[in-house]
Chain A
Amino acid sequence: MAERSETPEQTEFREHCRRWLAANRPEPTSFRLPQSPIEVMTEDQRVYLSAWQKKCYEAGLVGCDYPTEYGGGGHQGFQRIASMEMTRAAVPYLVNVIGLGMAAPTILHHGTEEQKKRFLPPLFSADEIWCQGFSEPGAGSDLASLTTFAARDGDQWVINGHKVWTSLAHFASWMILLARTARDHKYEGLTYFIVPIADTEGVTVRPLIKMTGETGFNEVLFEDLRIPDRLRVDAVGKGWTVAMTTLLHERGAAESAGGGGGESIESRIESLVDLARRTPRDGGTSWDDAALRDRIVKLAIRAEGLKQSQRRSRVEGLVDHPMRVPLQSKVLLSELLQDIAAVALEVEGMASTLYLGDERAPDGGKWPLAYMNSYGFTIAAGTSEIQRNILGERVLGLPKSK
């Protein structure tokens, strides 16, 4: 069914996406795929997911709204449709999520012509994977206190420092890096760079083990890494402004970030209802328990609310402040995913103690895994607490908490 305010071109594109996705659904894997692209651990997973993104790119489902001279499709309002259709078709997600969601829009807004031509096409095709180097051991929520230093040396920069929580770094060709170039100004002392990661002298990537027991993110150490000045993004000292562009996209609606694919919220709610219906409890099933049912329906209502808010944010007459609803997406989505997983554990009861690899674990142990991984989303990209500060300060005009 076509959405009623689409242009004929958009409707035709939606049809194209549906036909193509129906005909090109990838073969299921013999190995387990991680629950989200930032958790990709093994080479098997990377190869499979990169091949899938490349196929989607060649079919015109990735980079649709970018100019053709940078490898994009040259359209408007196509990416949201492609992402929606990928999610609806429940195909695998696009692996280059940091590239698509954060590096590409930042390079498009702030990069040089040369950078756009060099970096965007292989980013869309997943020939080159990207990671992000913002957080440091001593700079989390207070990101601008970071100390990784880039010292100018003629036409080169020499970089020393330590970045953490870098998902995908073990596969990445490139990193978007926020580094200090002056010590006397907190915000104006930052500059934004693109740095090579794979097989690069002066770069060490070490896995960090998550509480789930999985790898998937890393720490990255820079020891006298030398890069040419042409890899600097925008002016020296403008790094904070450029980083805000990155974070705006990181925190914005996942559907328009060029993501798509993976498990939709609606299908997670359906899985939860299904789980409750088949989980024995107290002589009946978990679904027969009025208290559990109430919690599940509450989550279904929150999920519908989130969906309808994204819809409402595009209706001029129903928006008071342009950023009010868009800035809510990250905190709402991450907390909803967490609460869905938490209720799933309650639905399973004692069986929720069974984890990956236990043959009796319901759904292969995916719910305790999802619950633990959900903290990645409520912490990464600005914790829920930082998100509430941003909402209070930027939308409601409350005084800054610093």
Chain B
Amino acid sequence: MAQPRDFGFGPEETMLRDSVRRFLDQKAPIDRIRALVAADHHAAYESPEPPARWDEGLWKDVVELGWTALAVPERAGGAGMKLVAVAALAEEIGRHAFPSPLLATLHATFVLAAASTAAANTWLGRIAAGDAASLAFAGENGSWESESVGVTAREEGDGVFLDGAAHYVLDARKSAFFVVAAKNAAGVGLHAVPSDAAGLSIVPDRIVDLTRDQARLVFRGVRIDRASIIAPPPSGGDALRRALPALLTIAAADIAGAAEWQLQTTVEYAKLRTQFDRPLGFFQAVKHPIVNMMLAIDETRSLVYNAAAAFDHEPERAEAFARMAKASASDTAAFCSSRSVQLHGGIGFTWESDLHLYFKRQLHSQFLFGDGILHRRKLAESM
């Protein structure tokens, strides 16, 4: 099936994006974000319990505005919007470095939608109603491949019991439930586990990024009833594979938005700051790397919308295009972070500057769901 020339990005998607941008500009400007997550450097990195700071009041507004229901299929009570619309939303989340479980919830949404079972629909309904969710499927080695799943499922009586650990779970302490990949002899299955389930421990990681939290989930005989088996093995692995392009695209869109903030902030600084009686941007040693940031961002952004449109309209090419988008995005994240700090000079290296919030978020995003080296290797294998 052919993709629409305009990626399927029409007036409705533009309106959604603009309204998201307006809302976040107003409710989550950078000074408010920094007051929330970076008011104090001791609290950020040295408190006994790693912080997971977010504005729960604002989250209620986000749910009210329908952002969590956006990607939930209509059959499960959501808006059933396409991935291009979700990508635009993710770009704005990245641009504002917005601390919330929204992207984690969108990731979970696409996995549940790919599973397409009655149980999946039930849990999708809870997302549409405002529950935050996150995916628990990375193994200890940080790989998002089915083979690396570190949780095992065993059937006993009328239930399934989970044991083991899932790593690098995004925004775990902001989530109401988890979509957990667990394997048995038949393959990988998917299970919905409420965050307060008996036998589940959420062990927070100490992470660099201040705008997210992350944890290891430890399962000790966590009992799953039949209604919470989202996809029995091996169909859970298939659902993960089908959803993977959406996960990569959303992560890449977040990076593109954050990188655009890094670009515009560096441009403004290069116009205002003077040295040698000239604004910094006069000097080509400053101007040209800034332009290179823009070139990197535009490549990533174009590949993001192509990947989204492929997921929506051309599924046979979705995986390759999504890997291209995430490979490009990971490199863009690293490059824009590096240049934004370097070109600001001394101030860019301080806690006082806003740059480090984005620098750290990008560092996290660069590796989330695999970096450029991984995705280029996967692409080469398919060429």
**Cβ B305 vs Cβ A308 within 8 A:** yes
Query: Is residue A391 contacting chain B, with contact meaning CB distance below 8 A?
Result: yes
**Cβ B303 vs Cβ A328 within 8 A:** no
Nearest B residue to A317 by beta-carbon distance?
B14
* Cβ–Cβ < 8 Å partners of A328 in chain B: 294-295, 298
Select one of B3, B6, B282, B306 contacting A400, CB under 8 A: B282
Query: Is residue A206 contacting chain B, with contact meaning CB distance below 8 A?
Result: no
**Cβ A294 vs Cβ B373 within 8 A:** yes
Contacts of B331-383 to chain A: CB distance below 8 A = 373, 376-377, 379-380, 383
Given contacts A298-B376, A312-B305, A391-B294, contact A401 B300 (CB under 8 A): no
**Cβ A317 vs Cβ B302 within 8 A:** no
**Cβ B377 vs Cβ A316 within 8 A:** no
Nearest B residue to A318 by beta-carbon distance?
B9
Query: Is residue B283 contacting chain A, with contact meaning CB distance below 8 A?
Result: yes
**Cβ A294 vs Cβ B376 within 8 A:** yes
**Cβ B4 vs Cβ A332 within 8 A:** no
* Cβ–Cβ < 8 Å partners of A308 in chain B: 302-303, 305-306
Select one of A273, A318, A392, A400 contacting B290, CB under 8 A: A392
* Cβ–Cβ < 8 Å partners of B380 in chain A: 293-294, 296-297
**Cβ B281 vs Cβ A3 within 8 A:** no
Contacts of A348-402 to chain B: CB distance below 8 A = 385, 388-389, 391-393, 395-401
Contacts of A4-39 to chain B: CB distance below 8 A = 4-5
CB A139 to nearest CB in B, in angstroms, measures 20
Report the tally of A-B residue pairs with Cβ distances under 8 A: 138
Docked Cα-Cα span, A61 to B318, in Å, equals 34
**Cβ A309 vs Cβ B302 within 8 A:** yes
* Cβ–Cβ < 8 Å partners of A311 in chain B: 5, 7, 302, 306
Query: Is residue A301 contacting chain B, with contact meaning CB distance below 8 A?
Result: yes
Docked Cα-Cα span, A301 to B304, in Å, equals 12
**Cβ A397 vs Cβ B9 within 8 A:** no
Query: Is residue B287 contacting chain A, with contact meaning CB distance below 8 A?
Result: yes
CB A348 to nearest CB in B, in angstroms, measures 19
Docked Cα-Cα span, A400 to B271, in Å, equals 11
**A interface footprint on B257-296 (CB within 8 Å = 1, 0 otherwise):** 0000001000100110000001101111001101110110
Query: Is residue A211 contacting chain B, with contact meaning CB distance below 8 A?
Result: no
* Cβ–Cβ < 8 Å partners of B82 in chain A: none
**Cβ A401 vs Cβ B376 within 8 A:** no
Query: Secondary structure at chain B's binding surface: helix, strand, loop or mixed?
Result: helix
Docked Cα-Cα span, A248 to B380, in Å, equals 37
CB B205 to nearest CB in A, in angstroms, measures 29
CB B144 to nearest CB in A, in angstroms, measures 19
**B interface footprint on A184-224 (CB within 8 Å = 1, 0 otherwise):** 00000000000000000000000000000000000000000
Docked Cα-Cα span, A331 to B294, in Å, equals 13
**Cβ A304 vs Cβ B303 within 8 A:** yes
Docked Cα-Cα span, A309 to B271, in Å, equals 27
Query: Is residue A278 contacting chain B, with contact meaning CB distance below 8 A?
Result: no
**Cβ A301 vs Cβ B303 within 8 A:** yes
Query: Is residue B11 contacting chain A, with contact meaning CB distance below 8 A?
Result: yes
Docked Cα-Cα span, A314 to B9, in Å, equals 11
Query: Is residue A172 contacting chain B, with contact meaning CB distance below 8 A?
Result: no
CB B191 to nearest CB in A, in angstroms, measures 35
Docked Cα-Cα span, A302 to B294, in Å, equals 14
Docked Cα-Cα span, A231 to B282, in Å, equals 39
**Cβ B328 vs Cβ A305 within 8 A:** yes
* Cβ–Cβ < 8 Å partners of B290 in chain A: 392, 396, 398
* Cβ–Cβ < 8 Å partners of B157 in chain A: none
Select one of A290, A293, A395, A399 contacting B282, CB under 8 A: A399
CB B272 to nearest CB in A, in angstroms, measures 11
* Cβ–Cβ < 8 Å partners of B9 in chain A: 315, 317-318
**Cβ B278 vs Cβ A399 within 8 A:** yes
Contacts of B2-18 to chain A: CB distance below 8 A = 2-7, 9-11, 13-14, 17
**Cβ B291 vs Cβ A391 within 8 A:** yes
- Hey, which bits of chain A sit against chain B, CB under 8 A? 1-5, 273, 290, 293-294, 296-298, 300-302, 304-306, 308-309, 311-312, 314-318, 324-325, 328, 331-332, 385, 388-389, 391-393, 395-401
For this complex, 12 residue pairs linking A to B, each with C-beta atoms less than 8 Å apart, are: A273-B383, A293-B376, A293-B377, A301-B327, A302-B299, A304-B303, A308-B303, A318-B9, A324-B294, A331-B295, A388-B292, A395-B294
